[in-house]
Structure 1
Amino acid sequence: MSSDTAGSWTPIALSADLPAGTVMPARIPAGPIALWRSQAGHAVASADRCPHRGMRLSHGFVRGEALSCIYHGWSYGKTGNCLRIPAHPSLTPPETIRVATHDVEESDGIIWIALGQPAARPPRFEGLVPLRSLTVNANVAAVEAAAGAKADPEGLVSPSQHPQEIRLLLAPQDDQTLIHVLLDDKSSPSRRIAASRTAESLRRMAEDLQAKVQAS
């Protein structure tokens, strides 16, 4: 599981959920990020705070290869440098104005964010395809208990009652867990529907378990 901030990867979203020209909020152990995709298709992870007035960049908009703040329109490139300040159109923004960015990799339909300096590429899950993502209001231990199985070092869980139906890719997020549901790449539409229902059931079970622990 991607928990070693000295150098690891965390699965932050599914590629299908981030079309070109869009931005979405996300979270990694280092804090909130604005995950966006340029019009050319490049996925970028920027710190979710404009240096100007602190507005969340995930509320902004993508134009071409830049992410712009919705407040005063300051624009930032893929490496975090400020490209444009609309109030001063003739000004070349200094290099000191920038937002922090994180390395991004995409593989098998999953967007991975680097934590620190990973020594290797993100894991591959050949034969599996992503179905959907969901956030569980429970920690990883509660999700594992609901699934009846432990996550492997890559964060992948095979639920004991559904070993051939779905895989759960876990990403801890403070007191929540982000789950990416993966299926066999030859799954029929009916199996995809069943897998989605199974994931929802596991979410409810994990949240109930978490509530009982907190109440005890």
Structure 2
Amino acid sequence: MPPYPTGSWIPVALSADLPAGTVMPAQSPAGPVALWRSRSGRASAFADRCPHRGMRLSHGFVRGETLSCIYHGWGYAQEGNCLRIPAHPALTPPDTIRVATQHVEDGDGVIWISAGETAAPPPRLDGVAPLRSMMVEANVAALEAAAGAKAAGGLLDHSNDGLTLRLLLAPDGEARTLMHVLVGEDANPTERIAASRAAETLRRAAERIRSGGAVQ
């Protein structure tokens, strides 16, 4: 397993991007996952493959507290066990039919997935609030070079025209980085727009570095 700058926890999405009753694809150290939130608001992460026919569960749909595959409707509980097979409504699915799950924590506006066994909770993000996420087609080193700063604990501080951004980084393979943009909790709308634009500028600069171009 590759090292991650946030230790045992990977910030895979912002809480606001996963409303109750929805599912989305995400990437974890173990591979693609179906990240979903039940109707009651609990976030879960499944391996993104239905055990029946291999369909991506991130294409599925949420019913109450279960995630169902879009292909044949097999439904899975948050613990990963199969609860329902529509073609056999009278059947109680055996416990051997289940989806691999990963430990999820949802706090400070960020959804985290554990990269392994951990006793400690995810890092706290005091004083900041998530603004948006973006995929950068460059690695963390290119982002550091573009920012002129080093990331610490998964956080990269970037100053631009008097504005300081906090960027929460999650490597996605060897050449991509999921970048979550954080702003001060009391940031006003103008400051939030400026932060979003500054993050876009940094993303483009990092991608130019990766492709061998100069930072402008």
Q: Secondary structure at the match of 2:209?
A: helix
Preserved contact between residue 144 and residue 151 of structure 1 (Cα < 8 Å): yes
Distance 2:113 2:134 in 1: 18
One-letter amino acid of the counterpart of residue 62, structure 1 = V
Preserved contact between residue 138 and residue 176 of structure 1 (Cα < 8 Å): yes
One-letter amino acid of the counterpart of residue 110, structure 2 = I
One-letter amino acid of the counterpart of residue 97, structure 2 = I
Preserved contact between residue 37 and residue 43 of structure 1 (Cα < 8 Å): yes
Distance 1:163 1:72 in 2: 54
Aligned 1:132-147 pairs, distance under 5 A: 132-147=132-147
One-letter amino acid of the counterpart of residue 84, structure 2 = R
The residue that corresponds to 2:110 in the other structure is: 110
1:176-210 per-residue CA deviation (whole Å, 9 max, x = no partner) reads 10000000001010000000000100110011100
The residue that corresponds to 1:173 in the other structure is: 172
The residue that corresponds to 1:16 in the other structure is: 16
Offset, 1:165? 2.6
Preserved contact between residue 163 and residue 195 of structure 2 (Cα < 8 Å): no
The residue that corresponds to 1:187 in the other structure is: 187
Deviates more, 1:158-167 or 1:186-195: 158-167
Distance 2:185 2:195 in 1: 13
Offset, 1:164? 4.7
One-letter amino acid of the counterpart of residue 155, structure 2 = L
Offset, 1:30? 1.0
Distance 2:50 2:147 in 1: 40
Q: Secondary structure at the match of 1:116?
A: coil
Preserved contact between residue 68 and residue 76 of structure 2 (Cα < 8 Å): yes
Offset, 1:148? 1.1
Preserved contact between residue 10 and residue 170 of structure 2 (Cα < 8 Å): yes
Q: Secondary structure at the match of 1:138?
A: coil
Query: Where does structure 1 lack aligned partners over 5 or more consecutive residues?
Result: none
Distance 1:212 1:151 in 2: 21
One-letter amino acid of the counterpart of residue 181, structure 2 = V
How much is the aligned-residue C-alpha RMSD, in angstroms?
A: 1.6
Distance 2:28 2:162 in 1: 28
Aligned 1:1-216 pairs, distance under 5 A: 3=3, 8-153=8-153, 155-161=154-160, 164-174=163-173, 175-212=175-212
Distance 1:201 1:8 in 2: 30
1:105-137 per-residue CA deviation (whole Å, 9 max, x = no partner) reads 111100000111113100001110000000001
Query: Where does structure 2 lack aligned partners over 5 or more consecutive residues?
Result: none
Structure-1-length-normalised TM-score: 0.93
One-letter amino acid of the counterpart of residue 172, structure 1 = P
One-letter amino acid of the counterpart of residue 197, structure 1 = R
Q: 1:123 to 1:181 in 2, by over 3 A?
A: same
Paired residue total = 210
Preserved contact between residue 76 and residue 84 of structure 2 (Cα < 8 Å): yes
Distance 2:56 2:201 in 1: 33
One-letter amino acid of the counterpart of residue 82, structure 2 = C
1:59-101 per-residue CA deviation (whole Å, 9 max, x = no partner) reads 0000000000000000111010001000100111111100001
1:16-42 per-residue CA deviation (whole Å, 9 max, x = no partner) reads 000000000000121000000000000
One-letter amino acid of the counterpart of residue 38, structure 1 = S
One-letter amino acid of the counterpart of residue 170, structure 2 = A
Q: 1:4 to 1:183 in 2, by over 3 A?
A: closer
